[in-house]
Homo-oligomer: A and B are copies of this chain.
Amino acid sequence: MEKFEVHILGCGSALPTMRHFPTSQVVNLRDKLFMIDCAEGTQLQYRKAGLSFSRLGSIFISHLHGDHCFGLVGLISTFGLLGRIAPLHIYSPCDDLERLLRPQLDYFCRDMPFPVVFHGFSPHVPEVVYDDRTVSISTLPLKHRVPCCGFLFSEKPKQPHIRRDMIDFLHIPLHAIGRIKAGEGWTDADGRFWHHDQLTFPPEPPRRYAYCSDTMPVEANLPLLQGVDVMFHEATFASDALARARQTGHSTARQAAEMARGAAARRLVIGHFSSRYDDDTLLLREAEEVFPEVVLAHEGLKIEV
Residues of A within 8 A of B (CB): 14-18, 21, 40-41, 43-44, 47-48, 64-67, 70-71, 73-74, 77-78, 81-82, 96, 99-100, 103-104, 107-109
Contact = CB atoms under 8 A, between A and B. Distances in A.
A81 B14 contact: yes
B81 A70 contact: no
Given A41-B40, A64-B108, A74-B66, A47 B16 contact: yes
Contacts of A66: 73-74, 77, 108-109
A15 B43 CA distance: 10
A138 B21 CA distance: 35
Contacts of A77: 14, 66-67, 70
B108 A104 contact: no
A100 B100 contact: no
A296 B41 CA distance: 24
Given A73-B66, A104-B100, A108-B64, A78 B16 contact: yes
Nearest to A103: B100
A237 to B, nearest CB: 16
A10 to B, nearest CB: 11
Given A107-B64, A107-B96, A108-B64, A74 B18 contact: no
Q: Please tell me how many copies of the chain the complex holds.
A: 2
28 contacts: A14-B77, A14-B78, A14-B81, A15-B78, A15-B81, A16-B43, A16-B44, A18-B48, A21-B44, A40-B40, A40-B41, A40-B43, A40-B71, A40-B74, A41-B41, A41-B44, A64-B107, A65-B108, A66-B73, A66-B77, A66-B109, A70-B73, A70-B108, A96-B107, A100-B104, A100-B107, A103-B103, A104-B104
A15 B58 CA distance: 21
Nearest to A74: B40
Which of A14, A40, A48 has its CB near the most chain B CB atoms (within 10 A)?
Answer: A40
Contacts of A65: 108
Contacts of A48: 18
A18 B47 contact: yes
A21 B43 CA distance: 11
A44 B70 CA distance: 13
